[in-house]
Amino acid sequence: MWTTAAVLACFLALPPWPPGTARAESAATGQPLERLYDNTAVGVDGRPSGAGFDGAGNALSAGDLAAAGWTPGRTLTLGGATFTLPRYAPGRPDNLVADGQRVRLTGRGSSLALLVAATGGPATGTGTLRYRDGSRQSFTLGAPDWRTGPLGSKAVALPHVNSPGGQLTEQAKLYTVSVPLERRRALASVELPRDNGPDLHVFAASVQSESPDWSGSWAAATSGQPAVGPWADRSLRLVVHTSAGGPRVRVRLDNTFASAPVDIGGASVAVQESGATAASDPRPLRFGGATGTRIAAGAQALSDPLDFEVPADSNLLVSFHLPGTVASAPLHQLAVQESYLSEGGDHTAERTGEAYTGTLTNWPLLAGVDVGGGPGSVVVLGDSITDGERTTAGANRRWPDLLADRLRGQREVPRYGVLNQGISANRVLSDRYPGDGVSTDTGGVSALNRLERDVLAQTSARTVILFMGVNDVRWGARADQVSAGLREIAARTRARGLKVLAATIAPCQGESRCTAQVEAERAAVNAELRTGAGFDAVLDFDAVLRDPANQARLAPAYDSGDHLHPSEAGLAALADSVELGLLRN
């Protein structure tokens, strides 16, 4: 889902309309978004006039946007959707305030993605999607406030607000949101909500197309942005384990949560022989035909397709060179896998691992590997039990790995790729990592806040397994709050045409935070899940793992020793318990 069927043309590239046709064509199909811009959000630093995003003279900083890599007219991939940024300039309108305008947007896809923000408080309203066959579909569009909205779900946060009295040290935020589309119909136009309170600003929009020729084989969710190195002129060689194989490959690098761009000087892929040594010469990856790329703050970069036979159930070496200085990096903290860091220089093309003298136990910047063909993927959204806490490093005994083994060894259902989007310490409702800046906490933003990026944007996702909630109840959340959060995740996911299987919360009595009150909340969440309301099916992982003699505890054979995380035998039992027919979608 990383490509789009239609990316809006930039403002200056639009041809003039033939005389006399603009009014009739606008009435029938709407106008391109850029022709409807009526608000100037971006101001030049040091010039208080010329922009009034919120009606009070406050504006985004053009300098901050440039420093983040958000330059006028640039195409960025944000949360799996591709946008062309407005060609902002002093005094030039760069967004519109939604008030019933009809925007011409065409194409088929899974969703309509928009780059938005609100002023005067969070904004929401109802609009209409119009398809070429004459059918219509209502939708709800919402946007958080640009100054008070949450960091956990933002696309980018800028460090300043330009005001009439000078520049304020206060974060300004932009957001991406998506609206489900009828996949079988071709979109013709979008009628935006009418202004009924706080202003809802739209900067860019695109239709997200399917990725029918690709399946996700490996993925990791960005869990935070800690300090690293600093690394300067270094190469990273990351080891990842494939689930599905295929004849082509592409990788996704992710600069989520960062405040500045990161430069990739070169990149390659190879099958691992051992350690940092490849089985054959690494194949170079390209980005838009170039050997490297600059990834803007909050954005992703997808490599060009490469003819390369990716074996299923194998280790790949994904290498990339960082020519500049990187002092902090978005990463997945708990890799349960050793990767490698080189001495100075670009060593991405080297077969031997001699230059890779350092080791890493996390996955910086790398977020996905796709393979050509295949039936699509199953996405597992979870916490440390899914992430592989207390499993053997390098053995690939996380329960999603074992589920992938089962899929490859049968013919009952398609042999989907399995994408592990577990984050250790993650919660359904609240952010552990604050969602912006350098932090030692790598517990991720909430599942609600990362759903768009870590589930809905995953390549050819078909079914989602939702196995979360224990960290919420361990840290004081009520059962009704957790149940509501899980149902919201399911509703948003099912609206995009994906199947959702919810798993009950495993027992944890004996762990220090699993008090009698926590057990009562856990049991209440599970009772609600077992009704099946809002889900396509329920996997009773609680019943699989619990001790028959004490249902509040893990069975001794399935306890890793901390009474919270299952042993490898317990994880195998989880993978074995999944009825494979439920994964078909």
Claim to verify: residue 196 and residue 316 sit in the same structural domain:
no
Mean pLDDT value of segment 74-103: 94
Pick the residue with more confidence: 406 or 47? 406
Residue 212's pLDDT is what?
Answer: 85
205, 33 Cβ separation under 8 angstroms: yes
Element (H, E) at 67: helix 62-67
Comparing C-alpha atoms, which of 293, 210, 188 is closest to residue 251? 293
Instruction: Read off the pTM.
Output: 0.94
Say whether pLDDT at 2 is over 90: no
Claim to verify: residue 255 and residue 335 sit in the same structural domain:
yes
The domain spanning residue 502 has which CATH number? 3.40.50.1110
Residue 15's pLDDT is what?
Answer: 34
CA-angle at 431, arms to 512 and 115, nearest 5°: 165
DSSP per-residue codes, 339-367: EEEEEES--TT-SS-TT--EEESSEESEE
Query: What is the percent of the chain where pLDDT is above 90?
Result: 91
DSSP per-residue codes, 449-484: HHHIIIIITSTTEEEEEEE--HHHHHTT--HHHHHH
- The pLDDT-based confidence of 28 (bands split at 50, 70, 90) is low
Question: Per the domain annotation, does 575 fall within a domain?
Answer: yes
Claim to verify: residue 380 and residue 366 sit in the same structural domain:
no
Comparing C-alpha atoms, which of 143, 152, 191, 171 is closest to residue 30? 191
Domain count of the fold of the chain: 3
- The pLDDT-based confidence of 24 (bands split at 50, 70, 90) is very low
Say whether pLDDT at 23 is over 90: no
Claim to verify: residue 425 and residue 562 sit in the same structural domain:
yes
Residue 21's pLDDT is what?
Answer: 34
Mean pLDDT value of segment 220-249: 98
Residue 417's pLDDT is what?
Answer: 98
Mean pLDDT value of segment 45-51: 77
Give the structural domain span for 14. Answer: 4-208
Claim to verify: residue 393 and residue 352 sit in the same structural domain:
no
Question: Per the domain annotation, does 22 fall within a domain?
Answer: yes
Mean pLDDT value of segment 229-236: 98
Pick the residue with more confidence: 278 or 79? 278
Give, in order, the Cα–Cα distances in Å from 142 to each of 27, 126, 199, 330: 25, 9, 10, 27
Say whether pLDDT at 12 is over 60: no
Say whether pLDDT at 196 is over 90: no
Residue 365's pLDDT is what?
Answer: 98
> pLDDT tens for residues 274-325?
999 999 999 999 999 999 999 999 999 999 999 999 999 999 999 999 999 9
Say whether pLDDT at 7 is over 80: no
Ranges 43-57, 301-315, 453-467: which has the least confidence: 43-57
Claim to verify: residue 239 and residue 298 sit in the same structural domain:
yes
Mean pLDDT value of segment 382-408: 98
Claim to verify: residue 470 and residue 384 sit in the same structural domain:
yes
Structure tokens at 161: 């607000």
Claim to verify: residue 422 and residue 438 sit in the same structural domain:
yes
Claim to verify: residue 360 and residue 384 sit in the same structural domain:
no
Claim to verify: residue 312 and residue 436 sit in the same structural domain:
no
Claim to verify: residue 80 and residue 141 sit in the same structural domain:
yes
- The pLDDT-based confidence of 27 (bands split at 50, 70, 90) is very low
- The pLDDT-based confidence of 211 (bands split at 50, 70, 90) is confident
> pLDDT tens for residues 331-365?
999 999 999 999 999 999 999 999 999 999 999 99
Say whether pLDDT at 366 is over 70: yes
Question: Per the domain annotation, does 219 fall within a domain?
Answer: no
Claim to verify: residue 457 and residue 310 sit in the same structural domain:
no
Domain boundary among the residues 351, 371, 391 is at 371
Say whether pLDDT at 71 is over 70: yes
Comparing C-alpha atoms, which of 328, 162, 100 is closest to residue 230? 328
